[in-house]
Structure 1
Amino acid sequence: MSQLGIVYALLGAALAVLLAGAGSSIGVGIAGQAASGVVTEDPSKFAKVLIMQLLPGTQGIYGLLVGFITLSKIGLLGGGMLDLTPQQGLLVLAACLPIGIVGLISGKYQGMTSAAAIGIVAKKPEQFGKAMLFPAMVETYAILALLISILSVTNLSF
């Protein structure tokens, strides 16, 4: 029988991990550039700007989580790999796309927002809590995409 279904499902898992991970790496890089400048001027702000830099990293974690759930669902982890039809494989692929696409986009924009928040902390360290809210707003959409991908993957029946 054709292995096309499994190929589509694996492509979905790979895209969830790769796209969300790319978004996180872009975002963490953007925030890291801003953080480096602040720490150069005032090393005592290291902990606060490091937290801001790490915020865009969550999208990569979310993509990895969906990837693991998908591999488990299709039986690649734990043995007993399913024999999926191409249509079933495409359903798995579609279920993985929300976190992949939203993770890529939101990771980049969360990095940009974190960089701006780092600017707030550089000038007014006492406003750290307020500054953290701006990148957290972007995080909301990554969490929504994570939820829809997890619900979609786990509720597929083969």
Structure 2
Amino acid sequence: MEPIVLVGIAIGLAVGIPGILSALAVGMAGVSAAGVTAEQPERFGNLFVLQILPGTQGFYGFIAGVLIMIGTGILGGAGELGGLPPNIGMLAIVAAVPAVLQGFTAYWQSQVASASCGAVAKRPETFGNLVIYTVMPETYAILGFLAAFLLMISLGVF
């Protein structure tokens, strides 16, 4: 298989899976936020923060995909058929694995965000604490992205 095909698969997985998971997570948190907003529209700002937090994993996957494009040269047009080193495609897939897996933290983050929306409805003064709870799964998403970035550097993809 041509290296450019494997690079394309790596990019598609790194961008697509976290993007889909983030969209689902933002949607789940949004359902909770919408329910509270219907009863307490003045809580919109706090609820919006809680809703968008599970969407960051999609950004990490997108950035990882762009870094793979830059590192392999296909973003600049250097990736024509037969123009890439033979092993770069498999290395790109290996580097994309943590970027893909970090996307799954969006689901769990949406669970915390959804529960936090309900808590804000009952006790608005707990918002700061609830944001901290909601951000905790984000730590592992960041570690996954960082691992992907370091793998890209170590393996010579970037």
Q: Does 1:139 align with 2:143?
A: no
Specify the code of the residue in structure 2 equivalent to 1:119.
G
Length-normalised TM-score, structure 2: 0.92
What is aligned with 2:156? 157
What is aligned with 2:66? 68
Q: Is the partner of 1:108 in helix, strand or coil?
A: helix
Q: Is the partner of 2:84 in helix, strand or coil?
A: coil
What is aligned with 1:121? 120
Of residues 54, 76, 79, the one that matches 2:77 is: 79
Q: Does 1:43 align with 2:44?
A: no
**How many positions carry a matched residue from both structures?**
154
1:12-56, Cα deviation, whole Å (9 max, x unpaired): 111010011011011101100000000000000000000000001
Cα distance between partner residues in 1 of 2:46 and 2:73: 42
Cα distance between partner residues in 2 of 1:145 and 1:54: 19
What is aligned with 1:111? 110
Contact 1:35 1:50 in 2 (8 A): yes
Q: Is the partner of 1:83 in helix, strand or coil?
A: coil
Cα distance between partner residues in 2 of 1:19 and 1:157: 23
Specify the code of the residue in structure 1 equivalent to 2:107.
K
Contact 2:102 2:144 in 1 (8 A): yes
Contact 1:6 1:84 in 2 (8 A): no
Q: Give the C-alpha shift of residue 83 in structure 1.
A: 1.3
> Structure 2, unaligned stretches of length 5 or more?
none
Q: Give the C-alpha shift of residue 84 in structure 1.
A: 2.7
1:108-133, Cα deviation, whole Å (9 max, x unpaired): 11111100111111111111000111
Specify the code of the residue in structure 2 equivalent to 1:123.
K
What is aligned with 1:30? 28
What is aligned with 1:93? 93
Q: Give the C-alpha shift of residue 7 in structure 1.
A: 0.9
Runs of 4+ in 1 over 6 A off after TM superposition: none
